[in-house]
């Protein structure tokens, strides 16, 4: 889950950089791609390893068919980890996504003020794509975050195993939606297909 969140943030920033760059992208240089992949995995590893060494713990999630952070423990050790996880693995990636897509939208709007017709249609397509990606991100991760925070800070037993199934499935399926949205809302990719 964390690798998918971080990957979405890295991809949004890379998309912003690629679309606002004036020079033609070098498709033979994979250095930035590998840097993004290594950064995503390293950051995710940094936040998933601590429970193995005693800062919180892992355990069955929901009805016991998946494993996740122990959301139900109320001790300070577990609570501090969950707060850090929430800030550094949900809030910050979401802020990067909003920043990147917001700056991308501003750049497209500046271009469309100069040009009319096709540039304005491109701005509208980018706007739709940005809104859909941000909404999908929120629809996938906010229910899971809400259930996790409620299980951590709410009354014991408030979140039943059955109630946690759908948010967990939504969160784990989030990596599927971004490429699908990009393919169907990107005119160049659609034309290639």
Q: Which of 24-38, 39-53, 107-121, 139-153 is predicted least confidently?
A: 107-121
Answer yes or no: is pLDDT of 128 > 90: no
Cα–Cα nearest to 36, from 55, 52, 17: 17
Whether the CB-CB separation of 148 and 82 falls below 8 Å is answered with yes
67 in helix, strand or coil?
Answer: strand
79-118: pLDDT as tens digits:
899 899 999 998 999 899 889 888 887 877 776 666 666 6
- Taking only the tens place, the pLDDT of each residue in 48-61 is 999 999 999 888 77
Instruction: Using alpha carbons, select from 96, 67, 93 the residue that is nearest to residue 5.
Output: 93
The highest-confidence range among 11-20, 71-80, 118-127, by mean pLDDT, is: 71-80
Residue whose tokens read 């890295």: 10
In which band, very low, low, confident or very high, does the pLDDT at 45 lie, cut at 50, 70 and 90?
very high
Orientation angle between helical segments 92-114 and 2-20, nearest 10 degrees: 20
Averaged pLDDT score across all residues of the chain: 80
Compute φ and ψ for 37, nearest 5 degrees.
-65, -50
> What are the tokens at 141?
């991760």
The CATH number linked to 99 is 1.20.1070.10
The beta-strand segments (E) located in 1-139 are: 58-61, 66-69
Domain that holds residue 140: 1-191
Q: At what angle do helices 174-185 and 2-20 cross, to 10 degrees?
A: 20
For the entire predicted model, the pTM comes to: 0.75
Give the contacts of 182 (CB within 8 A, at least 6 positions apart): 129, 133, 189
Find how far residue 133's CA is from the centre of its chain. 9
Tell me how many domains the chain contains: 1
Other CB atoms closer than 10 Å to residue 134's CB: what's the count?
Answer: 16
Confidence of residue 120 (pLDDT cuts 50, 70, 90): low
């Amino acid at each position: 889950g964390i690798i998918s969140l971080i990957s979405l943030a890295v991809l949004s920033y890379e998309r912003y950089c690629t679309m606002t760059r004036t020079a033609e992208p070098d498709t033979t240089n994979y250095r930035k791609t590998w840097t993004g992949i290594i950064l995503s995995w390293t950051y995710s590893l940094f936040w998933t390893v601590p429970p193995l060494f005693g800062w919180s713990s892992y355990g069955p999630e929901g009805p016991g068919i998946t494993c996740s952070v122990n959301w139900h423990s109320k001790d300070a050790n577990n609570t501090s980890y969950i707060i850090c996880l929430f800030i550094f693995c949900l809030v910050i990636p979401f802020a990067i996504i909003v920043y990147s897509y917001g700056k991308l939208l501003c750049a497209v709007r500046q271009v469309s003020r100069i040009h009319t017709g096709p540039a304005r249609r491109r701005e509208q397509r980018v706007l739709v794509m940005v809104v859909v990606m941000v909404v999908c991100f929120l629809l996938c991760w906010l229910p899971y975050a809400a259930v996790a925070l409620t299980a951590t800070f709410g009354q014991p037993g408030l979140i039943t195993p059955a109630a946690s199934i759908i948010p967990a499935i939504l969160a784990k399926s989030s990596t599927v939606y971004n490429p699908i949205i990009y393919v169907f809302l990107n005119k160049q990719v659609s034309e290639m297909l």
